Amino acid sequence: MQIFKVGGAVRDRLLGKPVTDIDWVVVGATTEEMLAQGYRPVGADFPVFLHPKSGEEYALARTERKSGRGYGGFTFHASPEVTLEEDLIRRDLTINAMAEDDQQNLTDPYHGQRDLDARILRHVSPAFAEDPLRVLRVARFAARYAELGFTVAPETLELMRQLSESGELEALTAERSWKEISRALMEDQPQVFIQVLRDCGALKVLMPEVDALFGVPQPEAHHPEIDTGVHTLSVLEQSALHKQPLTVRWACLLHDLGKGLTPEEEWPRHIAHEHTGLKLIKAVNERFKAPKDCQELALLVGKYHTHGHRALELKASTLLELLQSFDVYRRPQRFEEFIVACEMDARGRKGLEQRSYPQADYLRGAAKVAREVAVQPLLEKGFKGPELGEALKRERLKALKAYKDAASA
């Protein structure tokens, strides 16, 4: 029995990056031998065991063969005869197909270290094209390592293109797709993930609503970058630069989908794109079964982001409606995420990345004023039920009018 550290732990050590998760492969062992040594089985599809002390996962070396559509369409074979090289060849990228023994002696049959040095993401074997999830994984690695200068090898991009055109991407489950998308959006350069998906034709399959934004012009006065797709990538980039959470990044990606529906004869204007885009945002949310908080914020940002930009001009009554829509009294954090999504939208424009956004503090102040209107005096006046709600609304409106007057004085 031989035990090797494989995959990401080896890759990240060689890159000088922190190693978090460690994968282990056991060569030359049987299930019975693993159990006899106290390992606990956890794998339903193939033999994976938990170490009796550390709890880390140890997998028997295995081969795999395509047997159906999608990510799960494989049969696995694990036995003591499977070599380390046979186990490594089934992996996606050469930089993930290296192994180390306990002395840090490197086993690198597919030249992963060479590709690390050359900053290339390259597939290990033609079997890469058997797993559609790898299209998303490679795009995610491109986003993760873009800052180090990594690019996707042309021949790998071509295989990804073939996969995108094959219909295999449609076989991915919403859960598997969302896991990769959400992880990619939280990388340092999530816009690279979207760009790589577009380069290989996968974006058109997975998110045609986002793909449709490229080539759609906007007024140059507000959008020096002009192209709506380019703007969307820039907004996503800003959300990562400012360390925003997943909810905000997801909303940033989807906020302008309505512009993809604008008839060409109306370009570069996009009247009411906030409302036309809601059905598209809802469709993307449902397609990937995004978490509820991501879905809600994306819809609210899509509907109200232009309100955010025009905050200083809004009538007090409109401002109150906006605050009510977000339920700022019980869910203040959601409104804060809306504000920062609007700010990312404002900054995601060519040459305007450093612009100030006074709307943010103005909206925060408005929310604070509305929340501070006390209920108790109204109760003491005898208001209750629906009448209490209306009285509270009137007091909040009065407070917002005073706030607006003071801000513009």
70 has a pLDDT exceeding 70? no
The single-letter DSSP state of residue 30 is: -
72 has a pLDDT exceeding 60? no
- The pLDDT > 70 percentage for the chain reads 96
Helix H, strand E, coil C: the string for 314-374 is CCHHHHHHHHHHHCCCCCHHHHHHHHHHHHHHHHCCCCCCCCCCHHHHHHHHHHHHHHCCC
* Cα(59)–Cα(45) distance, integer angstroms: 11
Could you report the per-residue pLDDT of 181-240, keeping only the tens digit for each? 999 999 999 999 999 999 999 999 999 999 999 999 999 999 999 999 999 999 999 999
Q: Provide the 3-class DSSP secondary structure of residue 217.
A: strand
Residue 133 lies in a domain: no
Residue 91 lies in a domain: yes
How much is the pLDDT for 332? 96
Give me the mean pLDDT over the 319-343 stretch.
Answer: 97
390 has a pLDDT exceeding 70? yes
How much is the pLDDT for 78? 82
402 has a pLDDT exceeding 80? yes
257 contacts 285 by C-beta, under 8 angstroms: no
How much is the pLDDT for 47? 83
Q: Tell me which residue range forms the domain holding 59.
A: 1-110
* Cα(151)–Cα(143) distance, integer angstroms: 9
Q: Look at 36-45, 218-227, 269-278 and tell me which has the smallest mean pLDDT.
A: 36-45
Task: Report strand pairing: 40-41 vs 48-50.
Answer: antiparallel
Residue 370 lies in a domain: no
How many helices and strands (H and E) does the chain possess? 20, 11
Name the β-bridge partners of 59: 25, 48
**Cis, peptide link before residue 268, omega less than 30° from 0:** yes
255 contacts 301 by C-beta, under 8 angstroms: yes
The structure tokens listed for 3 are 């035990």
How much is the pLDDT for 44? 66
Give me the mean pLDDT over the 102-123 stretch.
Answer: 97
Name the β-bridge partners of 99: 6, 107
Residue 383 lies in a domain: no
Buried b (16+ CB within 10 A) or exposed e, 114-135: ebbeeebbbbbeebbbbbbbbb
Give me the mean pLDDT over the 139-150 stretch.
Answer: 97
The structure tokens listed for 296 are 């809600």
Residue 50 lies in a domain: yes
Give me the mean pLDDT over the 319-347 stretch.
Answer: 97
How much is the pLDDT for 64? 73
* Cα(129)–Cα(92) distance, integer angstroms: 9
pLDDT tier at 68, thresholds 50, 70, 90: low
The structure tokens listed for 398 are 């009065």
CATH number reported for the structural domain that contains residue 38 in this entry: 3.30.460.10
pLDDT tier at 252, thresholds 50, 70, 90: very high
pLDDT tier at 77, thresholds 50, 70, 90: confident
Residue 154 lies in a domain: no
Number of domains in the chain: 1
Residue 409 lies in a domain: no
Residue 250 lies in a domain: no
Q: Look at 6-15, 39-48, 329-338, 384-393 and tell me which has the smallest mean pLDDT.
A: 39-48
E strand or H helix that includes residue 408: helix 385-408
- The rounded mean pLDDT for the chain is 94
